Amino acid sequence: MRIDKFLKNSRLIKRRTVAKEACEAGRITVNERPAKPGADVKEGDVIHIQFGSSSLTVRVLLLLDTCRKEDAPSMYEVIE
């Protein structure tokens, strides 16, 4: 699954276009490498997101093409 789609489906970022722009700006890394919007994500990957002065690191647990709001937190585990 694409990183921008995962971020949108997991509700970590509200819109896919915002996730795409964050990737292009270099604020998203997958396994400590800068991620392009089309980068593939697999279960077990570690994603680091930089939000201005704060940051979030999560591990991918589950990939779902469609999910409800209640199921979104089951897609990832917060590390930091």
pLDDT for residue 80? 81
* pLDDT given at position 35: 93
Average of pLDDT values for 13-26?
93
pLDDT of residue 67: 85
Residue 24: per-residue pLDDT:
94
| Three-state DSSP string of the chain | CEHHHHHHHCCCCCCHHHHHHHHHCCCEEECCEECCCCCECCCCCEEEEEECCEEEEEEECCCCCCCCCCCHHHHEEECC
Convert the pLDDT of each residue in 22-80 to its tens digit: 999 999 999 999 999 999 999 999 999 998 889 999 999 999 888 888 888 899 999 98
